[in-house]
A and B are shown apart, each in its own frame.
Chain A
Amino acid sequence: MIPVGGEPEGGQMTASPPGGAAQLAVPAEQAAWRRSSAWQVLRKPAAFLPVIFLAGIIVACFAAPLIAPYGPVTQNLTQINQGPSWQHLLGTDTLGRDVLSRLLYGGQASFIGVAEAMAVAVILAVPIGLASGYLQGRTDTAISRVIDVLMAVPGIIILLMALSVFGNSLTPAMIALGVLSVPSLARVVRAATIQVSSELYVAAARVVGLKPRQVMRRHILPRVVGPVVVTASILCGGALLVQTGLAFLGFGVRPPNPSWGSMVQEAGTVLYVDSWLIWPSGLIIALTVLSFILIGDAIRDSAQLSRSGQTPASRRAALRRAERAAARVSEAPREPGQPQHGEASPASPALLEVTDLSVVIPTTDGVKTVVEKVSFSVAAGEAVALVGESGCGKTVTALSILGLPPGGGHISGGSVRFRGTRIDNLPDADWRKLRGSGISYIAQEPIVSLDPSYTVGNQLIEMIRLHTSGSPRKAAVTTTALELLARCGIAQPREVFRLYPHQISGGMAQRVSIARALAGNPQLLIADEPTTALDVTIQAEILDLLHDLQADSAMSVLFVTHDWGVVADICSKAVVMYAGQVVEVSPVADVLAAACHPYTDALLRANPHLAEPGDRLQEIAGSVPPPGQWPVGCRFARRCALATDECAAKPIPIKQLTGQRATRCIRTDELAALQHTKDGSRNAPAATA
């Protein structure tokens, strides 16, 4: 199982911290059906109109005795086959009966028939599907076989048999139709049940000791209702059409009583004499069926919409977009293999210079600032860590540097300079013109970030071609690709070259991602939690690889992480973010020895690595305030042991300290004193022992 990101959110669900967009996917999906309650569905016109139409028709039909101008079988042979008039709004039929009245009365039979069919289908299919999906094993096999056989039975024959055996009435036919709909509905229920059953809360319910019946009723059924409603609404439309077909064949409601189907049939017989008569009954059937289907679609769409942008597929697509765009940035007409270092313009010693970068992202509660005035720099050959908890804006910062703020956001202020050239706010086309930029990107989940439909080799070749001018020979490109794989520590590059992403392990996939990122000889590699989803021993190997690559090629790395162990392993400078701001910038060795911001200090003390068994870990009370709820003053003040009134009064500027350190704190002296006593007390027993 892939861990839920390495970066679970810390804020409230309601105000999605954009940095945690990916992490929020799960709850959003789980809450999908709940949120897509009736009102949500109704707010869209595509659903609103059919619901109103259908409700109106049903009410009118069952109110027919009150509102119909004539009786359903009242004949007036002096006025046959008339078109619409004030007397007969929809005209009259071959026996001079009022079409509107017959439609209204006839609708009763039609809707009752649909309801019968659906009731039978739902009552049978839901328990069958639940049992099949939840109990699995032999029950499932047996039920599935029966369903398969039922699906192979020709439905219309069964219906005609039911009509002939039980007399020519609609009810047995509709019950038979309901039974015939059971297989398709049961399959939907079974599929939904299997999906829900794999959720941990179902396992938890079993561990609690609930009986299978209770687990199904309490924990699975509510989640299956959505798909059932969608399928049933489409089956309703189908049932109405079957009724029409049967009536057309002369089965169902007995004349002279009206039904929509029999009215179509009657109109059909006089089509050449009276071409009007087919319209009222034909249209009402078509519109009603359409309404059923549109309502089903709307319910399904609203469930999908509430998890839009968060499905694995779209997430994968977003990651791929990010990598492609990163590749575009690094697109450069130069010889592969030729290093580009030392080209940085002397005016700007930093390779990457981020100045007062602010990013806003639209949310349901309006546009929110998620990254505010972030400044830091990455020198050539330097490895910088962007550290913080989830929801602090570190991923948003990293993606915004690539020109790809997530979640439809945009850079609202500040600048990003790469080798002295501004690269923020450039239109897509201009990214291409930024020749020789050389920024690459690797994502957290390596397998997700590789395209599942191409081999490893193909994906590398694509990148290499993108980075090579002219049209290099295939053999040369393949050789380069194999070299890249070997350089990334893949022992059998030729074998891996031919494999698809799903055939390789997570560690291997991350090596391939790195190889792909190196295809354009980047000067800067932005790595967003590249080892979080991996096992520790694999993580260590990937870190060793990145360490060596960085040492060999003097490549700069911007490493987004929440793990101080990883920071200590490969970074020399740490940029600590909290609630959208940079709160501390320090050399890694210094910050680990003594942090100069209380948040960093607390974060380090919460790390079980540094704790002695038996000690209590230091907690940070509360959680990171989400965007939109940031305090005016110091954003950490509410959780800080050292906070005073002054801290909360007004925004705290970032303050330069000695030794290339900076902090957004006005109580650094108190912090230092506290660190002294705490570490002193911690060291004391160890010294005596």
Chain B
Amino acid sequence: MRQQPLLSVRGLSVEFKRARRQPFRAVDNVSFDIDQGQTLGLVGESGSGKSTIGNALLGLVRPTAGTVLFEGRDIASLSAAERRSISGRLQVVFQDPYSSLNPSLRVGQIISEPLGVHTDLDQRQRSRAAAEMLERVGLPPSAMTRYPAAFSGGQRQRIAIARALITRPHMVVCDEPVSGLDLSAQAQVLNLLKDLQAEMGLAMLFISHDLAVVRYVAGQIAVLLRGKVVEEGATAKVNSAPEHPYTKRLLAASPAPNPAAQQRARELRRQLQTASA
């Protein structure tokens, strides 16, 4: 018998109201599961609704329909107070490491803030825990008293990861966590996320537009097109034998550092284009 998944999303829809027009359906009847310790990669282009799905899980937007079972409990439309009780176990790392850290707080304050909400630790214990977490993500203890502006993009993303993981969550929503980073910083952050996932048994919803990154981190992939999941399956299978035309287009468009492969991809793109035209 299959164990109950950590997160189970069924028929999730999110609509945004528009003045004098039909509401805009950003997410349309989306369903997926994530098991403990597993990663689901949510791939799609801008406007596909991938970030809206993440925000709906996090309680930042209210779903129009559907259920989100997290640890067996429907969290789709919790009140703000009820949401607080699970927020320590469901955390987030956002895309933009600049806007996701409050510039007027010190790094130590930023990282220890969740502990103030979810634990009874006193100030000293909180800052000790923050220092440990900071070390775990590869930053020196001296970072505690500095402001976010003193750090590079990759370092800021480590700070954001430390903040997300300090309450030992069971699941983290990673919304494009490396798309603002250079290759070398991207590799550092991806490795760190994978290490921490293995160490803490984290489940991850990894939202990205970059197939190469998703392929590398996620065991399962769901491909989104205009709010709908058009293809879902094991990464290796989706990657090697895509079924939906859009997945094929996406794979053919993802630039690989290999001129011969790119040449083939260009021919494939042209074929797909003529096929769809």
Contact = CB atoms under 8 A, between A and B. Distances in A.
Contact of A389 (B51, B184, B191, B266): B184
A11 B151 CA distance: 8
B238 to A, nearest CB: 12
Contacts of A588: 259
A219 B153 CA distance: 21
B148 interface: yes
Given A5-B180, A611-B216, A616 B191 contact: yes
A606 B60 contact: no
A608 B104 contact: no
Contacts, number: 230
Interface in A580-606: 588-589, 592, 602-604, 606
B104 A33 contact: yes
A215 to B, nearest CB: 10
B145 to A, nearest CB: 14
Interface residues of B, number: 83
A613 B92 CA distance: 23
B200 to A, nearest CB: 17
Given A535-B46, A544-B266, A623-B152, A8 B92 contact: no
A543 B266 CA distance: 9
- Which secondary structure characterizes the binding site on chain B? helix
Contacts of A607: 183, 187, 212, 257
B80 A565 contact: no
Interface in A9-24: 9-14, 23
B70 interface: no
A223 B235 CA distance: 43
B266 A619 contact: no
A346 B96 CA distance: 50
A607 B104 CA distance: 34
A8 B180 contact: yes
Nearest to B113: A208
B31 interface: no
B83 interface: yes
Nearest to B246: A537
Interface in B130-146: none
Given A209-B83, A209-B84, A13 B185 contact: no
B83 A204 contact: no
A204 B157 CA distance: 13
Contacts of A204: 92, 94, 100, 160, 163
How many of chain A's residues touch chain B, expressed as a range? 35 or more
B15 interface: no
Contacts of B183: 389, 562, 603, 606-607
A222 interface: yes
B91 to A, nearest CB: 6
A34 interface: yes
B129 interface: no
Nearest to A30: B103
Nearest to B266: A544
Contacts of A603: 183-184
A553 B252 CA distance: 26
Given A223-B104, A537-B253, A623 B191 contact: no
Given A8-B182, A222-B104, A544-B269, A13 B149 contact: yes
A207 interface: yes
B94 A606 contact: no
A372 B191 CA distance: 33
B209 A535 contact: yes
B111 to A, nearest CB: 11
Interface string A205-247: 1111111100000110011000000000000000000000000
24 contacts: A1-B46, A1-B51, A3-B180, A4-B96, A4-B153, A12-B152, A27-B148, A200-B94, A200-B99, A205-B113, A207-B59, A209-B118, A218-B102, A536-B211, A536-B255, A544-B266, A562-B182, A566-B255, A568-B256, A588-B259, A607-B187, A611-B216, A620-B184, A623-B154
Closest 5 CB pairs of A and B: A565-B255, A209-B87, A540-B253, A564-B257, A30-B103
Interface of B: 45-46, 51, 55, 58-60, 80, 83-85, 87-88, 90-92, 94-96, 98-105, 113-114, 117-118, 147-154, 160, 163, 167, 176, 179-188, 190-191, 194, 209-213, 215-217, 219, 235-236, 249-250, 252-259, 261-262, 265-266, 269-270
